[in-house]
Structure 1
Amino acid sequence: MTISRNFEIIYLLLDRKVVTAKEFAEHFEVSTRTIYRDVDVLSGAGIPIYANKGRGGGISLLEGYTFNASMLTSDEQVDILVGLQTLAITDFPNTDLILKKVARLFKKETVNWIDVDFSPWGSGEKKKQLFTLLRNAMIQQLVIQFRYFNSQGEQTLREVEPIQLLFKQNAWYLSGYCLWRKDYRIFKISRMDQVCVSNQTFTLRPTADAIKNAEKQVGESSIPMRIRIASQGAYRVFDEFDDHMITKNKDGSYTIVANFPVGTWLDSYLLSFGTLIEEVHPVYLRERLVKKLEELKHNLEINTS
């Protein structure tokens, strides 16, 4: 408590310049004798703080003093403020207040250089609050329940001990221990629906690298592919593939060589390129896409006749 009080004494003096011992005592609900003792402790620690007694007097800091200026460079102070601002964007508790205090301690203005909204474009308020809900469940170690839609088009009800939020290849995922599968799983957040937090608490289990495990699982069920995308599809090529996977052809098109997870997701993904996709290997995948297109044409003809 003493350390916390001493820190706030410095903060208040940097903000208000001069504060009387009586004002400090009322603020902290201690005696003026305790405040003067705190002043002595701070002075002994090298803080240039002094007290002028009598009418018009008070406790103040040496003019021009900046907290921790000797310990942190100007760039390091900015890095701390940037880190706090980034944390504040996630709605982490009390970070706005801490950010303001630290900015005043460093005598620097905060700049809103970053803004983050985890929800998709056009999302409703419920979707926007999903990350806050998941974060609170992780902090409080509460089991969450939700309906999940996998890449095979199947939907299941899940109970999960949430562990970590992950960002991978333009998408957010939740890493957790699935009580149904009795194993660690990663869930794409955009496929989670009807998410609710239960009253059931859990104890954190020993965990491994969630992303590494997920990549291993994907790698075990992936196949090597080569696709060619027309030049007009450059925006998707560079959005969705690493540079080492991409070769630009003489005609302006792009050849991508990469491993893709098998399943119905792959068909839908390739079809999402529409007329931008010009070539697909291996051959059996190309034939499967043609068959899907024929089924689509048939369905459309039936529904328009």
Structure 2
Amino acid sequence: MQESRLFRILYYLLDKGHATAPELAERFEVSVRTIYRDVDAISSAGIPIYATAGRNGGIQFLDDYVLDKSFFSDKEKQEILSSIQSLSAIQYPEVDNILKKLSAIFQIGLTDWIEVNFSRWGSMAEDENQLFLQLKKSIFEKRRISFEYYNSSGTNRKRDVLPRKLVYKDKAWYLYAFCLLHDDYRLFRFSRIKNLDLTEIRFEEFPEIEHGIFPKPQDMGMLIDLELRFPLEVGFKLYDTLEDSAIVKSEDGYIVNLTLPETDWLYDFLMSFGDRVTIIRPQFIKQRIIEKYEAALNHYKGV
């Protein structure tokens, strides 16, 4: 616990420049005497922070100090900056200020090596970004949240949850949280979360019952061995979606062999190719797709 607090004190001083002992004591919920002991421990490790008394006194780094040879190698410093830079890819708040300060302290120029934007196109991007920031705040501050959640059939229901982490998977953001309605962990897709309320109710610990974030294939239904044929012009879509090992290219197209659970995703995936996929086996999958197409055709004939 003490080592964690020492690093947090260093980070706080890097961010603010200086702080008073009572300020740090209140922030880290320890006594002023403990803060002074922490300052001594940090100084003993070779990092010159010091405390000055008086009205304008406080705790700060020695002027012009460079956190360098006594603590990190050049490679370690570059790795630290690279890691923090990667946070900017998910629009992590205030990361640019942190990068500038550490770059100055390490005396290393920044390398513009990564740029990623997970937000969607159009007007939904700002709403999703605000949701991201609210959920991040609820996780860091361990605050219970409430929201309306729409399931795959469009039915909405109020959920009260204890937020655990944010997950990016297969082109979408999810909130992984303990759902008080179901007394279990659940995964909530961002696009289905509406009217989020960040409550003032705090929690300390998560319930111990927890399993993998995403369901395993055997938990999703019967596994099916598929053999499929595709023409050459859809190769880009196959490589975007499937593992390379499942795809065999020939002169006139692709043969795909894979094992997947029988879910709506499987049928949506196959039907997204229209007439550019041939189901070699199993035959019952072909029959079910025929039934789905016939149902869609009958629907539009009746409209």
Q: TM-score normalized by structure 1?
A: 0.69
What amino acid does structure 2 have at the position aligned with 1:291?
E
> Which residue does the alignment assign to 2:168?
167
Q: Per-residue displacement from partner, 1:62-93 (whole Å, max 9, x unpaired)?
A: xxx84313432222211111112222444445
What amino acid does structure 1 have at the position aligned with 2:246?
M
CA distance in 2 between partners of 1:198 and 1:285 (Å): 45
Question: Which SS does the other structure have where 2:278 is aligned?
Answer: strand
Q: Please show how residues 1-305 of structure 1 align to structure 2 within 5 Å.
A: 45=46, 66-124=66-124, 125-140=126-141, 141-150=143-152, 153-159=153-159, 160-190=161-191, 192-199=192-199, 200-202=201-203, 203-206=205-208, 208-211=210-213, 214-216=214-216, 219-226=219-226, 227-262=228-263, 264-279=264-279, 281-303=281-303
Moved over 4 A (4+): 1-5, 27-30, 41-47
Question: How far apart are residue 126 of structure 1 and its match?
Answer: 0.9
Question: How far apart are residue 105 of structure 1 and its match?
Answer: 0.7
CA distance in 1 between partners of 2:135 and 2:106 (Å): 33
CA distance in 2 between partners of 1:182 and 1:282 (Å): 39
CA distance in 2 between partners of 1:2 and 1:209 (Å): 33
Q: Which has the larger radius of gyration?
A: 1
CA distance in 1 between partners of 2:129 and 2:6 (Å): 40
Q: 1:101 to 1:297 in 2, by over 3 A?
A: same
Equivalenced residue count is 260
CA distance in 1 between partners of 2:148 and 2:45 (Å): 57
Question: Which SS does the other structure have where 2:128 is aligned?
Answer: helix
CA distance in 1 between partners of 2:107 and 2:72 (Å): 13
Question: How far apart are residue 154 of structure 1 and its match?
Answer: 4.9
What amino acid does structure 1 have at the position aligned with 2:103?
A
Question: Which SS does the other structure have where 2:109 is aligned?
Answer: coil
CA distance in 1 between partners of 2:219 and 2:246 (Å): 16
Q: 1:155 to 1:222 in 2, by over 3 A?
A: farther
CA RMSD of aligned residues (A): 3.7
Question: How far apart are residue 173 of structure 1 and its match?
Answer: 2.5
What amino acid does structure 1 have at the position aligned with 2:235?
A
> Which residue does the alignment assign to 1:20?
none
Q: Per-residue displacement from partner, 1:143-199 (whole Å, max 9, x unpaired)?
A: 23132222xx35341413221122334433221112222211223334x13140241
Question: Which SS does the other structure have where 1:247 is aligned?
Answer: strand
Question: Which SS does the other structure have where 2:118 is aligned?
Answer: coil
CA distance in 2 between partners of 1:137 and 1:161 (Å): 9
Long gaps (5+) in structure 2:
22-38, 49-61
Q: 1:223 to 1:156 in 2, by over 3 A?
A: farther
CA distance in 2 between partners of 1:254 and 1:122 (Å): 37
C-alpha contact 1:137 1:144 (8 A) present in aligned 2: no
Question: Which SS does the other structure have where 2:275 is aligned?
Answer: helix
C-alpha contact 2:260 2:266 (8 A) present in aligned 1: no
CA distance in 1 between partners of 2:20 and 2:166 (Å): 41
CA distance in 1 between partners of 2:224 and 2:110 (Å): 48
CA distance in 1 between partners of 2:300 and 2:277 (Å): 21
> Which residue does the alignment assign to 1:34?
none
Of stretches 103-112 and 167-176 in structure 1, the one that deviates more from structure 2 is: 167-176
Question: Which SS does the other structure have where 1:80 is aligned?
Answer: helix
CA distance in 1 between partners of 2:278 and 2:172 (Å): 26
Question: How far apart are residue 98 of structure 1 and its match?
Answer: 2.1
Long gaps (5+) in structure 1:
13-26, 31-37, 48-58
CA distance in 2 between partners of 1:260 and 1:197 (Å): 36
